[in-house]
Structure 1
Amino acid sequence: MTASLLTRHGAPVPSDRERELFEAAEALGKALAADVRERDAANRPPVAEAQALRDSGLLPLTVPARFGGEGISWSTAFEIVQRIGRQDNSTAQLLGYHYIFQAFPYLDLDDDAAARLAEQTLAGGWLFSSTGTPQGQQVQARRVEGGYVINGRKPFATGSYVADRIYGRAILTREDGTSTRLALLIDTAWEGVVRHDDWDVLGSRLTATNTIEFRDVFVPDAAVVADLGASDEARAPHQVLATPAFQLLFSTAYLAAAEGAVLAARDYTRSTSRPWYHAEGLESAAEDPFILNHYGSFVAHLTGLSAVVREAAQALDWAWGQGAALTAAERAGVAEQVAAAKVLAHEVALDVTAKVYDAMGARAAGTGYGFDRHWRDVRTHTLHDPVAYKYNELGRFFLNGTEPIPSAYR
């Protein structure tokens, strides 16, 4: 159901509730747009942005319906993210990460534990985040009476600075020397949880992708979601859909940033740009044939990307709905459909967010406008995982039928 810059004639009609949610997302995006340039420049932790998300009523939507939530589809969730992301991509990313980390514990919890988590989540209005990159040194867990003590330090913990709960993983080494991964729900108010304010980068500056540290944090047994085993390879296909979901979230964020850049450029072109010196006889830059060509290219590429992302979201919805019946081959096919969307989003968003300047002209490079924000957001986040590996993965899948082994990046 992904939104597009062009009207999608013949597209499925949103339900009344979906229309309501999209309108709420648009309203939040408009409110955030009022001072997004100033907030981006200030580069402070997004405390106010997180509160705006809480106040919007958009947080609890991926709590499963069978446990009292709305259980919206991934297509709907990501369209909400997209509509906000056109105006404030960082805050949209916070919401997208939250939707995924809020939903995925329910794949492993038994019904009683899931019902308790849903009740607490809905009552508390929690904002969820993660414990950071799966690469490098991992958080370690040690068994104690009544639970575990965890220690470790992880960078790139998106959203953790402003989150209420962290869906994290810790490595438990058993007495026989083997290791397993524990999925934990960590209360950020617990003693020993240290959230560092060290996220100072080119773009995506308001995502609170800071370092988080755990200093002898006690995690009670009730906060342990599951023993995930040594790797995702041994888990059931439906239990390892988190990676395709994240890759699709990233694609949606890139699409939204590029759309935001084009919408901002359009407003500037209409109101401020001047016809070029050699565009004789034209009174408006909006009549310049070369500028029109730029916008035609932007819209064509973004309309195509929107369709690809929409189809990938529908595939993820289908896989999610299969539950335990999902096969490894089906999971692989969906993952590669999402990978194709990720590659295209990477290319198109980087290209469009850079080229909007060609349509606006030299004065648009003034720092007061902040048009560079869209490119900086895309350029920063597209470094999350190297697109070269996605090309290779897709090539092996298409040419040789090699299914990706589930992991944090596949």
Structure 2
Amino acid sequence: MASNIANIAKIPELRKRIFFTLALLAVYRVGVFVTVPGVDRQVMKNILKSASGSFLGLLNMFSGGALEQLSIFALGIMPYISSSIILQLLTVVLPILDRLQKEGEQGRRKINQYTRYGTIVISLVQAFFIARWLEGNNRSFSQFGSVVLNPGLGFEMLTMITLTTGTAFIMWLGEQITERGIGNGISLIIFAGIVARFPDAMTQLFQKSSSQGDMTVFELFLVGGIVVGVIAAIIFFERGYRKIPVQYAKRVVGRKVYGGQSTHLPLKINVAGVIPPIFASSILLFPAQLAGFVQSSWMQRAADVLNPGDWRYNALYIGLIIFFCYFYTAVTFNPVDIADNMKKYGGFIPGIRPGKKTAEYIDRVLTRLTFGGALYISAVCVLPTFMQQKFKVPFYFGGTSLLIVVGVALDTVQQIESHLITRNYENVTGPKGPRIRGRINRTR
């Protein structure tokens, strides 16, 4: 790892990509503190503090604290994720979208354009309900003061335009990081928002232990051990994969013999990565937002059901995680294509017929692996409930946030390593590893 970090400085293009990514993330973090006109963010901080652990706390976590700041980025990147979910679901249902997805780069650009349009529509709807909800807080939380200084139609229109523009800007930042940075732009934005909340969470945790006396020293070390154990489990499962042996038949071309080597097909335990918890959280946040913004008795009951910590919320959350694990794996990994490519190049799995039987075998193995991966993700993501109820730990140490942080960090390291390998620098794999020689530019 030390050798890889040292080699980053030797590659100008990779160095520029990393600096570009850090610069855009810095712009995002600065924008979090730009407040929507006509609101009092100090009052909002007090309201969110009183609603700690609810869906508002979850939304505030994913927005990187932008909600409590009443920032122009208060909606965060969730409308974009919701739009992506809708488009991916429609791709399975509508043949025209399925054809677009199979058209290559041009089709993907068209789908991305539809995703952007959907993001704007969802942002406008959510921004309207947020504006109405903020006005309602003047009555519901009058003990803290007035959140909105001048409520009315003008404030609602201004809030809708401001929040929608903020979400569109975050979406553009994520796409720029993906294209011109080190990749995973949307995930890195969520990562930056969660990591930015960790110092405050650490401060609150130590205050509970030292000054307030809510936690003993033993409980503090126990919580630290649980967090370290969860991180170790995430790394173990994210790096774990099943090797399916693949044998390539020998082919004689002229006087030379090709093929005949043995290799393996690696299948990850968690093919979907951090996408399922992000998708599941965004799905549950949207109806919870509506339930919180619309003041009615049946909406209030729905808000109680969709409150993190309630067993019904956890059951829905686990169900959605399992669904998106299978759904995203099916979208990104096609056993039929893998089997056809293996058959085309003379490859086969020992004991399995090439073609349809190979695809069925890979699909069967992948289904079992995905079920195990879904259970692992579900177990990690429901950890916040246990830690909050038993130790009153800040919400930021929850399994969902740790899973996203560790998963995105591992993906980012892999992106950097792939850039290093493609540039063919020496000593990429360490001083005792193989030496990869770089290209030599020759001028004629």
Same fold, judged at TM 0.5 (above): no
The structure where helix makes up a greater share of residues is: 2
TM-score, L = length of structure 2: 0.29
TM-score, L = length of structure 1: 0.31
If you compute each CA radius of gyration, which structure gives the higher value, 1 or 2?
2
The structure where strand makes up a greater share of residues is: 1
